[in-house]
Structure 1
């Protein structure tokens, strides 16, 4: 059974922003949404359409400049296009050329605060999302006991908690 999405909606029922959003996904298979930092909270960028195009969870990344986030998502688009998958919960050097990164499952309790357009597109929380997490310049991930406060603040934990158990390691 194919997933019903906003692509199935009557275009006359969509407002201008919604029609533009759907048009981008029709053209490219996915779209990235950037939310700027505010009130001491970091900015973030996330995808909508990876689930539909690739059967792969959507992605969210915090505190990267928009162009770097987009370049990263396009890189991952090309990887997924040829059938390559990045393992979840494992350090990978296949995402960035200059640093390892990790994909971790996002808890659905964070969807409403961070994935509004994806929730609209999919008609609720019936999709998966992975958080792309990267280290600071010294190699500290946010869950590291020696991670500075700024890297922890720049990348909030959207997992079920405790960075999916990585803090205990």
Structure 2
């Protein structure tokens, strides 16, 4: 479990003197965090590789880790993240069988050296990372998990980048 008595240095809690410069997407994140306790940011798949989604604001609002999910349709990932984001006590090693029918999801702590490659808007929001992230890992159609099958359909962010198999997820590291 992550430290509940953390110091939040996000753009809501502190005035960094640049609020007039926030883009519309940044204002949307702030508004969502203030209204719903978190926002979900999606990065669409493109010719470079698969997409991913992640939360921003759980650490600020709930004292819980942010969540990230990779390699599925953005709407599916955003739905899963919104379901999980409502829960307290999320931690490394947990499984959740009630998010996607018939498929358990697993939580793995993200190695902070990955943050810059995948969580830029969260870094902007918090200003003083690292803040805790959990990767939401899904099994393949046969129930195989990436740490068992070696599948790279989603990154293995619980590993240091130097331990990760080179491929689409490591190109910006």
Output the TM-score relative to the length of structure 2. 0.78
- What CA deviation, in whole Å up to 9, does each residue of 1:70-96 have, x standing for no partner? 22122123333xxxx344214332443
Q: Is the partner of 2:128 in helix, strand or coil?
A: coil
- Paired position in structure 2 for 1:41: 49
Task: Give 5+ residue unaligned stretches, structure 1.
Answer: 164-169
- Paired position in structure 2 for 1:52: 60
Q: Is the partner of 1:101 in helix, strand or coil?
A: strand
- What CA deviation, in whole Å up to 9, does each residue of 1:38-72 have, x standing for no partner? 34422100000111111111010012222222221
Task: Give 5+ residue unaligned stretches, structure 2.
Answer: 1-5, 165-173
- Paired position in structure 1 for 2:143: 139
Q: 1:12 to 1:90 in 2, by over 3 A?
A: closer
- Paired position in structure 2 for 1:157: 156
Q: Is the partner of 1:72 in helix, strand or coil?
A: helix
Aligned match of 1:116 in 108, 120, 127? 120
Cα distance in 1 between the residues matched to 2:8 and 2:61: 11
Write 1 or 2 for the structure with the bigger share of strand.
2
CA contact (8 A) 1:34 1:45 kept: yes
Matches within 5 A, 1:1-169: 2-7=7-12, 8-9=14-15, 11-80=19-88, 85-144=89-148, 147=149, 152-161=151-160
Q: Is the partner of 2:143 in helix, strand or coil?
A: coil
- Alignment length (residue pairs): 154
Q: Is the partner of 2:147 in helix, strand or coil?
A: coil
Output the TM-score relative to the length of structure 1. 0.80
